[in-house]
Structure formats: C-alpha cells, structure tokens
Structure 1
Amino acid sequence: MKISVITPVYNAEKYIIQAVESALQFEEVYEIILVEDKSPDNALQVCKQLAEKYNRVKLFQHPDKGNHGAGPTRNLGLEKATGDFIAFLDADDYYLPNRFDAEKELFKDPKVEGVYGALGVHYYSEKAKEQYYSLFGDNLTTVYKKHDPKDVFPGQIHMRGSFGLFSIDCLTIRRDSMMKKLKPFFKTTLRLHQDTEFLFRLSYYLDLYPGILDKAVAVRGVHENNRITAVDSKKIKPATTKVLLWKEVDDWAKNENTIPEEVKMHIKRIHRSYRIALAPTSKKWGMIVRYLITDYKSIRSGLYNINFREDLF
C-alpha cells in the first residue's frame, strides 16, 4: 500500500508535529501532504522544519499564499497526492498504532473502495474538557455496527440517530475510485461541514466497508481554538452553518435519479427545518403553520434533527 495522508494546517503550531509523527510510524504512509492555509500562528515555520527533517513530508500553500478554508485546502492536497490510497488527518488530531490494520487486509479485495473506522477523543487541557465534554464525552465517533456498503449512504442520511457517523480522520479511500466517481471533491462553497457533505456523497458513489469500529484508530484533539468547537459552543448559531450544508445536500440529491424518493424527501425536510430556524421571527411561525398543514413530517423531521428550543427559537 502507498498511502497519501492529507493534512490541512491552520493555527496548529502546537499540534502539527504530533500529527505528522503519528502518521510517519506507518511504512504504508508513502507521503504526508501538508497544505498550510495562512495560519495566524507559527504553523508555517513548523511545517517547513518538518518538511526539511522528513523526506516523506511535503509542504504546499495556495498559489496566492492566502487563507481559503479546509475544503479548498484539502482539495489542493488531493491534487498533489500521488499515492494509491488517500487518508486524511486534521492537524490537531493524531493516528493510533492500529490505524491501518484493517485496511491492509480489506484492500486486498479490489471491490473495496474505502474503509472507515472509529475516532476517539483527547482533551488537550482541562479548560477544553470543561467546555466541550458535554459535546464529545469520551465516546467513539463511529458507525455502530457493520453494514453492507449499499446501506451506508441511506444510513448516514436517513437513520443518523441509530446508525452513527464516521469521521474523515478514520477514512481511507482507493484513489482511482475517488478520482473517477467523485467530482467535485470538497465543496468550496462551505466554510464548515464540508467534510460531512463530502462523506455523504462519498458513501453514495463508492463502496465503503467497515474497518475497526469497537476501538479508536485515530483521535480527535479538542482544544479551545478548534474551528468546529467555535460553532458548537454557540459562538456561531449552528443553524446558520447547517442550513448551508443541507442546501448543498438537497441541491445535489435532486439531480441524482437513483437516490430513493423517500431519502430525497428526508433530505429536503432537514433542509426545511434549518431554513425555518434561520427565518426572522415574523416569518418563522408562518412557515411552521404552512408545513404543519402541507407536510407535517417536515416539522417532525426538524424536531428530530435540530435542537428545537435553541436552534429554532
């Protein structure tokens, strides 16, 4: 196996060495693609030192040396990758020694186009744990049991509460399959949740198989400056970012003839629920009443998918 590990780097001066060295422990890792995204800290200099120290570490920036966000930054990493397989690793996360154990066996079968595993959590400080333990706990982020590849997409979309979710840090993809079947890669229109949208489409187009689900193969590092925790801590209203995510998913699903109609409708209803959440109070009740009359399940779906009291009002 020749695995290209793609790592977008932003504001990760304190963590990037650990991330890189956790990937270097594997002979299967052919290269680590660092794409620095105009960090406000000293991350660029640390990345330069890593690229000088390790011949498997390659450093890139956007042509304009600007900040473009995680989606375009991962896309640039994909353009530069030359391995047969693609894996991702956020700059403040790290791999565990069992990260590619399942992949080494499963990818012997050519029909396996991707493998996903379980993500653990580590709090870098007591303050981070105090702030975010209620969000992440000590839980694994994973699909909770093994499913046939054809069930992964509808499971991610339609049964998210019981099916579970997999993380991009624990995903390994056959590069040729992704290049042939998935375009665009990460949506540049999304500043946040672009990995969630990517995983939805990936699980639709590619046959993804479960790897190690009962224990972590990688670890999410939680600290006070995570981009996603800024959203989850209500610095940014969650509905603001989620409505953009589900608009992208809804627009995409409309044009895919083989997606079952009930799944398309479920996506539409989630999109509607976040649109209601973002609407001015003067319009909100009118939208609720209209959907109660014309499509009650839109309201019921919204109650399931968003925090009705906090996100909606």
Structure 2
Amino acid sequence: MKISVIIPVYNAEKYVADAVESALKHDEVFEVILVEDKSPDHSLQACEELELRYDRVKLYQHPDKQNHGAGPSRNLGIQKSTGDFVAFLDADDYYLANRFDAEKELFKNPKVEGVYGALGVHYYSEKAKEQYYNLFKNSLTTVYKKHDPKQVFPGLIHKLGSFGLFSLDGLTIRRESLIKKVKLLFKPMKLHEDTEFLFRLSYYLDLYPGIIDEAVAMRGVHESNRITKVDSNKAKPAISRVILWNETYNWVKDEETIPENIKIHIKRMQRSFEIANAPKLKKWAMILKYLVVDYQSIKSGLYNINFRYSLIS
C-alpha cells in the first residue's frame, strides 16, 4: 500500500510534529502532505522543519499564501497526493499503532473503495478535560456496528444518532475512486465541511467498516480547538447544523438518483434547525408555514411532525 496522509495545518505549532510522526511510524504511509493555511502562530516554521527532517514529508501552501480553511486545504492536499490511497489527519490529532491494520486486508479486495475506523479522545490538559469532558467524555466516535456499504449513506442521513458517525481521522480512501466518482471534494464551509463530505462520500463510494470497536486514531482536545469551542457552545449548535443541512440539501435536490424520501428527510432536517435557530416569536409562524407547504408530504407519511414540535422549547 502507498498511502498519502493529508494534514491541513492551522494554529497547530504545538501539535503538528506529533501528528506527522504518528503517521510516519506506519510503513504503509508513502508521504505526509502538510498544507499550511496561513496560521497566525509559528505553524509554518514548524512545518518547514518537519519537511527538512523527514524525506516523506511534503509542505504546501495555497498559491496566494492566504487562509482558505480546512476543506480547501484538504482539496489541495488531495491534488498534490501521489499515493494509491488517501488518509486524513488533523494537525492536533494523531494515529495509533493499529491505524491501518484493517486496511491492509480489506483493500486486497478491489471492490473496497474506502475503510473507516473509530476515533478516541485525548485531553491535552486537565483544563481541556474540565471544559470539554461533557461533550466528548471518553467515548469513541464510531459507527456502532458493522454495516453493508449500501447501508452507510441512509444510516448516516436517517439515523445519525443511533447509527453513529466515523471521523476523517479514521478514514482511508482509494484515490482513484475518490477522484473519479466524487463530483465535488470538500466544500469551503466554515463548519461541518467534514460531515457534509462524509455524507456525499458514503453515497458515491462503497465504504467498509474497519476497526470500529477500538480507536485507530485520537482526537486531541485542547483549549484552543476551533470546532470544540463551537460544539460546546449551547448558542451555536443550531446555527452550525443549519449550515450542514443547507449544504446537504443543496446537493441532494439535484441528484436524480437519490430517493425522494431521503430528500424530504434532509429538507425536514434543514427546516427543523432553521426553526430551532429562530427567535421564539418566529418559531410558531415558521412551523405553521411549513405545515401548509408540506401538507402532501405529511399526508403521505414521509414527514415527521413531532420532530418539529420538539424544537419549540
């Protein structure tokens, strides 16, 4: 196997060396691609030192040397990659020794286009644990049981809570399948660009479970995590979910092969989080509007009204 590990780097001077070295421990890793995204700290210098130190490390920036976000940085990494497989790693996370154990066997089958594994949690300080333990606890980010690849997309869309979710850090993709079959790579979203990408990826590619009952990589939680701060802020999740489901609906509405009931479900999720994010006085007006607009969907049994009412409080 020749795996290209893509690491977008922003404000991670303290952590990026550990991330890189955790990837280089694996013989399957053909190259580690760092995409430095105009960090305000000394991340660029740290990346330059890593490129000098290790032959397998390659450093890139965006052509204009400006900040573009994690999604476009991963896209640049994919573009620059030369391995047969692509894996991802955040600059403040790290791989474990078993990271590619399942991949080495599963990818012998040419029908396997992607493999996903479980992500654990590492608190870098007691302060970080105190702040964010209620959000992550010591739980695995994983799909809870093994599923056929055709069940992954509807499972993520319809039953995200009970189905589970895998992380980019635990995902390995056949590069040829990614380039040929996924119409658009990462979108330039400020939040949830990874989840939106995983939705689309699981529709276009056959993704298989690898090691899902123990961690293959670790999420590094510290006080300055951008996403952690958003997810732990009670005022923000509804806003961020509106962004996620808006982008997901923008995709599915034009995808002719996606069943209508899934499109309706995604539209419901989009509107539900819009309602949750609306001022209290607007909530009932929005609910009444959507009840009228979606009467036929409700009548047909494809729409769950109770979900809406649960968002009023």
TM-score, scaled relative to structure 1: 0.94
Q: Secondary structure at the match of 2:176?
A: helix
Deviations 1:19-70 (A, max 9, x none): 0000000111000000001111111101000000001000011111111111
Q: State the match for 1:242 in structure 2.
A: 241
CA contact (8 A) 2:287 2:308 kept: no
Q: Supply the distance in 1 between the matched residues of 2:288 and 2:133 (Cα, whole angstroms).
A: 37
How many pairs does the alignment contain?
306
Q: State the match for 2:129 in structure 1.
A: 129
Q: Secondary structure at the match of 1:187?
A: coil
Q: Supply the distance in 2 between the matched residues of 1:246 and 1:300 (Cα, whole angstroms).
A: 19
Q: Which moved more, 1:271-280 or 1:243-252?
A: 271-280
Q: Supply the distance in 1 between the matched residues of 2:26 and 2:214 (Cα, whole angstroms).
A: 19
Q: Supply the distance in 2 between the matched residues of 1:261 and 1:292 (Cα, whole angstroms).
A: 18
Q: Secondary structure at the match of 1:4?
A: strand
List alignment gaps of at least 5 residues for structure 1.
none
Q: State the match for 1:18 in structure 2.
A: 18
Q: State the match for 2:207 in structure 1.
A: 208
Pair 1:44 & 2:77 matched = no
Q: AA paired with 2:96?
A: L
Q: State the match for 1:94 in structure 2.
A: 94
Deviations 1:69-106 (A, max 9, x none): 11111111111111000000000000000000000000
Deviations 1:246-305 (A, max 9, x none): 11101111112222222111111000011112334443220123345646645433567x
> What does residue range 32-111 of structure 1 map to in structure 2 within 5 Å?
32-111=32-111
Percent identity over paired residues: 70
CA contact (8 A) 1:273 1:299 kept: no
CA contact (8 A) 2:89 2:168 kept: yes
Q: State the match for 1:233 in structure 2.
A: 232
> What does residue range 158-237 of structure 1 map to in structure 2 within 5 Å?
158-188=158-188, 190-234=189-233, 237=236
Q: AA paired with 2:307?
A: S
Q: AA paired with 2:168?
A: I
Q: AA paired with 2:265?
A: H
Q: Which moved more, 1:240-249 or 1:90-99?
A: 240-249
Q: Secondary structure at the match of 1:184?
A: coil
List alignment gaps of at least 5 residues for structure 2.
none
Q: AA paired with 1:203?
A: S
Superposed displacement of residue 10, structure 1: 0.5
TM-score, scaled relative to structure 2: 0.94
1:301 corresponds to which of 286, 291, 307:
307
Q: Secondary structure at the match of 1:109?
A: coil
Pair 1:251 & 2:250 matched = yes
